[in-house]
Amino acid sequence: MNVISNFFKSNTVRTILSYILIIVVVVLIRMFIFDPVRVDGTSMDTTLKSGEIMILNKIYYRKNDIKRFDIIVIDEGDRDLIKRVIGLPGETIAYRKNKLYINGEEISDPYPSTKTDDFRIESIGFTKIPNDSYFVMGDNRAVSADSRVSEIGVIKKSKIKGRAKLVIWPIKKFGFVK
């Protein structure tokens, strides 16, 4: 018994155990709370640039609703997509002459960095956004593969990994984005 007691009193063992504890805590935080995500591509220009690193908040939507214009991270299996929420469950979506229409009413959309081609949700086979699903777009509408493309379509809530609002790299862009 004395050997075991002396073993755990050793400085080397305590140092190793403290590093193991730190590693376990970091892994748990990354698995369940926050995770870095890298912007890949130009679909969110000019809001986000390719190569920027953001913090994904995995728990935000456990207590908060997903809102129009939130930036979210979507699990697409082999890759993550970073997009902006445009339409909410039960809504109709249309773009006409570069203007956003939700349920037939024009809504201010300050985020596009390029012209948005005319679009109606019916073009991807829906009359309205299904319950528990969201319509998403990139801010660089001219190049973004998003809900307007039938291969992506509306996004089920279960595929949303969380909200991304904080840029941490490069340092000069550190801060929250709209």
User: What pLDDT is recorded for position 13?
Assistant: 75
User: What pLDDT is recorded for position 9?
Assistant: 65
User: What pLDDT is recorded for position 6?
Assistant: 61
Please list the pLDDT of the chain residue by residue as tens digits (178 residues): 565 656 556 777 778 777 787 787 777 666 667 789 999 999 999 999 999 999 999 999 999 999 999 999 999 888 899 999 999 999 999 999 999 999 999 999 999 999 999 999 999 999 999 999 999 999 999 999 999 998 899 999 999 999 999 999 999 999 999 8
| Residue matched to tokens 């490069």 | 170
Q: Are strands 99-102 and 105-107 parallel, antiparallel or unpaired?
A: antiparallel
User: What pLDDT is recorded for position 27?
Assistant: 74
Q: Read off the pTM.
A: 0.85
Give the DSSP letter string of the chain.
-HHHHHHHH-HHHHHHHHHHHHHHHHHHHHHHTEEEEE--SSTTTTTS-TT-EEEEESSHHHHS---TT-EEEEE-SSSEEEEEEEE-TT--EEEETTEEEETTEEE-----SS----EEGGGGT-SSPPTTEEEEE-SSTTT--STTSTTT-SEEGGGEEEEEEEEEESGGG-EE--
User: What pLDDT is recorded for position 79?
Assistant: 87
Question: For residues 102 and 93, is the Cβ–Cβ distance under 8 A?
Answer: yes
Q: Which residues are catalytically annotated?
A: 43, 83
| Residue matched to tokens 């959309």 | 109
CA-to-CA distance for 22 and 28, rounded, in angstroms?
A: 10
**Alpha carbon distance, N-terminus to C-terminus of the chain:** 60
Residue spans per domain, the chain: 1-32, 35-176
User: What pLDDT is recorded for position 28?
Assistant: 66
Assess if CATH 1.20.1080.10 describes domain 35-176.
no
Question: For residues 83 and 146, is the Cβ–Cβ distance under 8 A?
Answer: yes
| Residue matched to tokens 């193991």 | 20
Exposure of 123 in the CB half-sphere (CA atoms within 13 A): 14
User: What pLDDT is recorded for position 29?
Assistant: 64
CA 126 distance to own-chain centroid: 23
